Chains A and B, each alone.
Chain A
């Protein structure tokens, strides 16, 4: 076959052009650290990347939402503990007032203390969290207990997704903690206790010891339930975070370049490019025209 100058130079040009292309691509991979930048780089990996990024975004947001709800449940748990302390205090007052040596005036004075305890309990039951009132069910915009201690909200559970398609309750139940839905209406019990004290009703006062104990147990139960719910949310956050780490690693494996491989490739393609330039130079020098 005859080899003409154009053939030799075209071959060199094509080789050089290919070497430049490979060197540029290797530079891009090495500098960006990404093997896959566009769908055409690796359609399967790109598809996986999109799916994994969607999962990661979802999980990331879910952990934020669950963390916030978990914090609210922790706050509710703390409120219920404080409410339990109030009931414990009220029970102590009941025990003290049930003593036959206490006179009517002292009991009247104690009634004021119990009324203050009831007001404090209403205040606690109307505590607000990051998303409205903690114990109002879905009626989060208005205080669940009015000044008379009457529950005006609902007990509708608010669920959050802890995994795809799996939900768990994410709000504390004010109804079961403070109202007859949980066994005792604590506000009414305190109201009755205060009335018994103010009217020097010894039977009523003695009865209050039991109701205060029952109320305390009710609050402890609610506190435990709320704590378990909070713990469930926090556990979900931990599990989700672990899963995110796994997916992040898988995503990196799918689209990121191995640094060693990338720099080796960069060196090789650079050497190839330099060789192609040298060959072209050689071709231009070897000619009978210049002799």
Chain B
């Protein structure tokens, strides 16, 4: 049978256990807004009340309310949202470059054809000829600068991707370091809750940037998979590098701790890097290709019509635009032909030298291009550009819808995780009262034990 003295031990255990409860509750309250913090709970166990034990309570440890499945979903959804958000942000800038609020390429196309139309009504008029050169030059400059903006944006996205890769590497190294610390703590019997909080937050941050999936082993260390390869295994971290391949597309290489490198470009589909890659190497490239084809077809069509005509100097065979060498790069290189720059008399309006200066057949043909299918397509020049802008609009619309969807799925996943791991202040306030009351009761037990002993002492 336990002795009366053992009651003192029971009271002591109770006070210690409730103190631990108050401490953990306090920690929970103070970390209510700490990112990645997982609420703790003190694990109490009753001591058996028997021959060899005085009963009471013991603190077995502190448990994290961590739901690995919910955390995995959060990381996964963050990866998807990261991709959608990065793509949407990049394409918003692309849309602004392709379709500014005023003076779009389509507006310039219209202005050029208006100038041709005016020329057809006044083929000998110097002002009408100057207007043709002015508007054609404006169009060429606008197409070229739009192509330049797209190229610059691709460069900027590459720089951004490299920055993100640097952020990923920093986090991979810290995850590896924390893995080691967690394994050491686990070996010493410590749960390493704070270390795990930090590490799991880092895993989520890697997920944001590149997408991630992690598996925890018995020692508490996680193996981190991303971009189709292992990025962290135990205390070893790989490093990722973003570079450009010969086709000027993003390439992701992973350098393993042993020195081997792998090309993980195909796996770069999630996170900010996945979104940047999609926007840079798929969406913007599509816009560039279409713009190049547009510039090539437009310059070729105008040149063909123009070269058939005669300038006021009775010379034929001149181009209005510098002849594009190839489709690729045609938009960036678009410019007025040097032979006509500043030479309004060289603008061709008449179909024959004998029709000068009032002949307008060629001017009519040039103006007529405005409503004829451009190149091998089926739409007029302005419509063709409208289609290019609309195609990008569809892509941006889809990216924005995806981003909104992913916001919702991230919210759902975080709700699921938060439901298990989050701190509820109401709950903690109740816990605080609970432990406080229990502590008070334990002190009461102590007082009773003390009084009993006192009574016992005085009876002798």
- A interface residues, Cβ below 8 angstroms from B: 1-7, 10-11, 14, 37-44, 46-47, 49-51, 53-55, 57-58, 60-62, 64-66, 68-69, 130-132, 136-141, 154, 156, 158-161, 164-165, 167, 170-171, 287-289
Contact call A54/B425, Cβ cutoff below 8 A: no
Q: Which of B124, B370, B390 is within 8 Å of A132, CB to CB?
A: B124
Contact call A154/B354, Cβ cutoff below 8 A: yes
Contact call B429/A288, Cβ cutoff below 8 A: yes
Contact call B370/A39, Cβ cutoff below 8 A: no
The 10 closest A-B pairs by CB, nearest first: A39-B393, A50-B386, A54-B382, A4-B422, A140-B358, A65-B121, A138-B358, A43-B393, A40-B396, A43-B390
- Let me know if B391 is at the binding interface, CB within 8 A: yes
Contact call B423/A5, Cβ cutoff below 8 A: yes
Within 8 A of A (CB), among B101-117: 101, 106-107, 109-111, 113-114, 117
Contact call A4/B358, Cβ cutoff below 8 A: no
Contact call B393/A38, Cβ cutoff below 8 A: yes
Contact call A131/B125, Cβ cutoff below 8 A: yes
Contact call B370/A40, Cβ cutoff below 8 A: no
Assembled-state Cα–Cα distance A50/B367 (Å): 18
Q: Number of residues in B with C-beta < 8 Å to the partner? A: 69
- B365 nearest CB neighbor, chain A only: A161
Contact call A53/B382, Cβ cutoff below 8 A: yes
- Let me know if B218 is at the binding interface, CB within 8 A: no
- A140 nearest CB neighbor, chain B only: B358
- Let me know if B147 is at the binding interface, CB within 8 A: no
- B400 nearest CB neighbor, chain A only: A40
10 further contact pairs, Cβ within 8 A, besides A7-B415, A47-B387, A60-B114: A4-B419, A5-B425, A40-B392, A47-B386, A54-B106, A58-B110, A65-B117, A138-B123, A156-B358, A171-B358
Q: Which of B99, B118, B414, B419 is within 8 Å of A39, CB to CB?
A: B99
Asked, given contacts A46-B386, A58-B370, A131-B121, whether A38 binds B407 with beta carbons under 8 Å apart, the answer is: no
A residues in contact with B420, CB < 8 Å: 2
- Let me know if B20 is at the binding interface, CB within 8 A: no
Contact call B418/A47, Cβ cutoff below 8 A: no
A residues in contact with B424, CB < 8 Å: 2-5
What are 10 contact pairs spanning A and B, CB under 8 A? A1-B415, A40-B396, A58-B113, A138-B123, A138-B350, A141-B358, A158-B358, A158-B360, A160-B121, A289-B429
Most chain A Cβ neighbours within 10 Å, of B360, B381, B430: B360
A residues in contact with B120, CB < 8 Å: 65, 160-161
Contact call B389/A50, Cβ cutoff below 8 A: yes
